[in-house]
């Protein structure tokens, strides 16, 4: 069996513990350096650069005329996907839509702050958003579902998906099915840093967008950072990461089963089993070979690289309280609480983007359509932001309305503060100068 990384927290010094917090994308300097000329090429050459990078980086046979998915390709996709897959996509989209409809804020609210003075918020959709759907390590119709559905619920008028092409220049058929069922018909065949640049600047074929959302490789994350002054990069969603918290009420084999879920995404993923039970840790180690035997060769290679590397494995803590502290310090993208009483632990966890509760709620169910969004902040950003939501696709405007009866009191206090801060125009705007105009 591969030598799975085993970390006994009691044996680690501060530097060793800090090392466990690192993700594969912690240092993006090399990716940013290499992404910069790709971005510049797209900015200056447009479609020609996208075609060249499709050939050189994606090994895809593509020309400018085929950068946009045609209606015929969308139609044909439904005949290329098994009925059970289409049914699973419909099931997931239905749950995701219901969840995000409940999440959608009311279009406007106003409350009376004082008699005759009203204030509130109005929410309107962002005019244009690009949805990034990765392809490099597999096909991800689930990402299409998670990004497209809340955008459609929010009412974004201009939506487009960007996703890397296959070698034959096609797009994954299930991704096309998910796009159409979610309500998005505009799909472009480009990925990586070049896709982020394309939707930031626009090309002859691709319309520029105001924002881009969706998870991606370090190349995508690097490009988002470089282009943050041109396009809103959305929440920081990089390579997958997960913590499985297991107490002593479950079998370690179950913990090992779920530890592999996010680890199989790719060698740049991060995945830890955190437990204070040595029995659970040992059972998990013993069960891994059986679980690997049921997986495909590629996914075994990916998950093995993660669990034997610097960003994965088993973390044995001295107590459940120490497990809580480790998780809150790590701030994972996905957290699964494996316990017969998961709610006993929930109140102790404050830093996790997604928390899935109990032995019947593996990350698989969260990823494929329980309802809550599975596009989540990575690299400890769960400390300050949460999952992708309807609110990521709308913008908020403050609304204020003061009646003639309420105006004098507000004007008096405004004059006082304006005078104190030295803003004479502010002061004059609520002085007798205004009164002369108001009485006309």
Q: Identify whether the C-beta of residue 345 lies closer than 8 Å to the C-beta of residue 244.
A: no
β 270-275/211-213 pair status: unpaired
Nearest to 276 by CA among 329, 322, 243: 322
Identify the helix (H) or strand (E) that includes residue 355.
strand 354-357
Q: Identify whether the C-beta of residue 90 lies closer than 8 Å to the C-beta of residue 142.
A: no
Neighbouring residues of 70: CB distance < 8 A, sequence distance ≥ 6: none
Catalytic site positions: 333-334
In angstroms, the CA 201 to CA 203 distance is: 7
- Transcribe 234-252 into DSSP letters: -S---S-EEEEEE-TTS-H
In angstroms, the CA 359 to CA 160 distance is: 37
Residue 269 DSSP SS3: coil
- Transcribe 309-340 into DSSP letters: STTEEEEE-SSHHHHHHHHHHH--SEEEEESS
In angstroms, the CA 287 to CA 280 distance is: 10
Phi, psi angle pair for 91, to nearest 5° = -60, -50
In angstroms, the CA 248 to CA 320 distance is: 10
Sign, CA torsion 188/167/46/37:
positive
Sign, CA torsion 206/208/213/216:
positive
In angstroms, the CA 385 to CA 26 distance is: 17
Instruction: Count the neighbouring beta carbons within 10 Å of the beta carbon of residue 397.
Output: 10
In angstroms, the CA 102 to CA 109 distance is: 16
Q: Identify whether the C-beta of residue 345 lies closer than 8 Å to the C-beta of residue 247.
A: yes
In angstroms, the CA 276 to CA 311 distance is: 19
Structure-block tokens of residue 243:
């913590």
Nearest to 135 by CA among 159, 90, 160, 167: 167
């Amino acid at each position: 069996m591969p030598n799975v990384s085993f970390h006994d927290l009691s044996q680690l010094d501060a530097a060793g513990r800090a090392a466990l917090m690192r993700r594969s994308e912690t240092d993006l300097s090399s990716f940013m350096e290499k992404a910069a000329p790709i971005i510049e090429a797209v900015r200056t050459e447009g479609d020609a650069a996208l075609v060249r990078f499709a050939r050189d980086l994606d090994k895809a046979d593509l020309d400018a005329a085929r950068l946009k998915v045609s209606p015929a390709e969308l139609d044909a996709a439904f005949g290329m996907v098994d009925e059970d897959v289409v049914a699973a996509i419909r099931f997931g989209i239905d749950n995701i839509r219901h969840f995000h409809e409940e999440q959608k804020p009311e279009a406007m609210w106003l409350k009376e702050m004082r008699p005759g003075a009203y204030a509130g918020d109005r929410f309107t959709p962002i005019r244009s958003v690009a949805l990034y759907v990765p392809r490099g390590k597999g096909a991800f119709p689930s990402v299409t579902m998670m990004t497209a559905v809340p955008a459609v619920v929010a009412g974004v008028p201009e939506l487009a998906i960007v996703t890397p092409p296959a070698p034959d220049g096609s797009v994954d058929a299930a991704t096309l099915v998910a796009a159409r069922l979610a309500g998005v018909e505009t799909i472009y065949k480009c990925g990586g840093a070049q896709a982020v640049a394309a939707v930031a600047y626009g090309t002859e074929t691709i319309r520029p967008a105001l924002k881009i959302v969706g998870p991606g490789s370090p190349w995508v994350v690097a490009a988002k950072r470089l282009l943050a002054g041109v396009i809103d990069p959305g929440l920081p969603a990089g390579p997958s990461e997960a913590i499985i918290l297991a107490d002593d009420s479950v079998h370690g084999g179950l913990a090992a089963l779920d530890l592999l879920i996010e680890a199989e995404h790719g060698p740049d993923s991060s995945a830890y089993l955190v437990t204070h039970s040595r029995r659970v840790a040992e059972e998990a180690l013993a069960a891994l070979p059986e679980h690997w035997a049921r997986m495909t060769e590629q996914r075994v290679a990916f998950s093995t690289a993660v669990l034997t590397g610097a960003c994965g494995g088993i973390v044995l803590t001295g107590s459940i309280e120490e497990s809580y502290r480790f998780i809150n310090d790590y701030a994972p993208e996905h957290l699964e609480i494996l316990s017969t009483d998961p709610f006993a632990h929930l109140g102790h966890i404050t830093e996790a983007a997604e928390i899935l509760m109990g032995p019947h709620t593996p990350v698989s169910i969260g990823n494929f359509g329980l309802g809550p969004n599975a596009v989540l902040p990575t690299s400890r950003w769960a400390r300050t932001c949460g999952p992708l939501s309807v609110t990521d696709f709308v913008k908020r405007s403050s609304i204020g309305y003061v009646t003639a009866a309420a105006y004098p009191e507000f004007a008096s206090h405004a004059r006082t503060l304006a005078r104190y801060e030295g803003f004479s125009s502010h002061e004059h705007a609520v002085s007798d100068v205004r009164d002369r105009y108001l009485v006309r």
